[in-house]
Amino acid sequence: MLCGGPQSYPSGRSGSSCCHTSLSLWPCGRYPSALDKFQIFVLVAPVLLFSMVAHEYAHGFAALKQGDPTALELGRLTWNPLKHIDPIWTIAMPIITFVSAGFIFGGAKPVPVDPRNYRNYRRGDIIVSLAGIVTNLILAVICTGLIIALGWVGTTVASLASSIAVLQAMMAIGLTFNLVLAFFNLLPIPPLDGSHVFKYLLPPALSLRYQRIGVLGILILVLLLPTLRPFYIGPVIYFREHALRFADQAFLPRAHEILRNAGFE
């Protein structure tokens, strides 16, 4: 899953923000029926959409705090998901890749920012670029806490256990998605967020050439995805396993069953 950096506007430096996951949603050697796929998609889509919106909102909010009101003025500093939806990348691509290949590839509209408005260009660029990553890490922690809280509610009120189990499963999926969003975006490949930090570690001339890679960034990411996968999946698996182990006692049996059927266990 991938969410690129904010889109610079109108300075000409383009960015992109899309979400991709190379984590298979099906257990090895076992593929669900069309009905099962639909049920899994209904479970996954709201969590993924919220995580993407939060990532984009964080970029716009951080830019505003650094002195750039572009996102606010263009109506993009909002939690309304409709403002962040692109018909092709947010709707068509996720459905096509989910149904045909068992993974989700898609995206949200880039949040427009104008770095020239930052009070301190370098500091502002770094803060705005890392805002989405930090937000996704915070959401991962919140999801872990909600798994525990929901488990307590489901155990205390038995009549709600079935519904609570679904919510617990969604929080576990949210934990995974937000960790992937965070660590994938740390990769120093334009236009990913990590590139906006890495460029300041390079000599000026090399930094300019490096930033021009952003034009072909998505293509490069797709071609190098198998090679890049260990660099972000490793940390995701490590932190996910520790978080789920921490919350394991709170999981309702039905939640484990839902996660296994969805390919997340």
Choose between 219 and 257: higher pLDDT.
Answer: 257
- Chain centroid to CA 23: how far? 13
Alpha-carbon span 208 to 180, nearest angstrom: 28
The per-residue pLDDT for range 20-50, each reduced to its tens digit, is 334 444 433 444 555 466 777 788 888 988 9
- Chain centroid to CA 209: how far? 27
Q: Where residue 71 falls among pLDDT bands split at 50, 70, 90?
A: very high
User: What backbone torsions phi and psi does residue 247 show, to the nearest 5 degrees?
Assistant: -100, 5
- Residue 264 pLDDT > 60: yes
The per-residue pLDDT for range 147-176, each reduced to its tens digit, is 999 999 999 999 999 999 999 999 999 999
Choose between 202 and 218: higher pLDDT.
Answer: 202
Alpha-carbon span 150 to 194, nearest angstrom: 34
pLDDT score of 24: 44
Choose between 102 and 209: higher pLDDT.
Answer: 209
Among 114, 113, 130, 111, residue whose Cα is nearest residue 17: 111
Place of tokens 């984009």: 56
Q: Among 162-166, 181-185, 214-218, 258-262, which stretch is predicted with the lowest mean pLDDT? A: 214-218
Q: Tell me the average pLDDT of the chain.
A: 83
DSSP one-letter code for 263:
T
How large is the average pLDDT for residues 204-213?
87
pTM of the model: 0.86
pLDDT score of 21: 39
pLDDT score of 33: 55
Q: Where residue 13 falls among pLDDT bands split at 50, 70, 90?
A: very low
Would residue 30 be called left, alpha or beta, if left means φ above 0 and alpha means ψ between -120 and 50 degrees?
beta
Place of tokens 């705090």: 65
Q: Which amino acid is at 72?
A: L
Q: Which amino acid is at 105?
A: F
pLDDT score of 20: 38
In the chain, DSSP finds a helix count (H) and a strand count (E) of 9, 4
Catalytic residues: 56
Contact indicator for 261, 40 with CB cutoff of 8 Å: yes
For the chain, give the percent of residues with pLDDT over 90: 50
Contact indicator for 86, 4 with CB cutoff of 8 Å: no
pLDDT score of 160: 93
Contact indicator for 86, 76 with CB cutoff of 8 Å: no
Choose between 200 and 231: higher pLDDT.
Answer: 200
Among 244, 40, 21, 214, residue whose Cα is nearest residue 110: 214
Contacts of 224 (CB under 8 A, 6+ apart): 189
Q: Where residue 103 falls among pLDDT bands split at 50, 70, 90?
A: low
Choose between 100 and 86: higher pLDDT.
Answer: 86
Among 91, 120, 119, 116, residue whose Cα is nearest residue 106: 91
For the chain, give the percent of residues with pLDDT over 70: 83
Domain ranges of the chain: 7-261
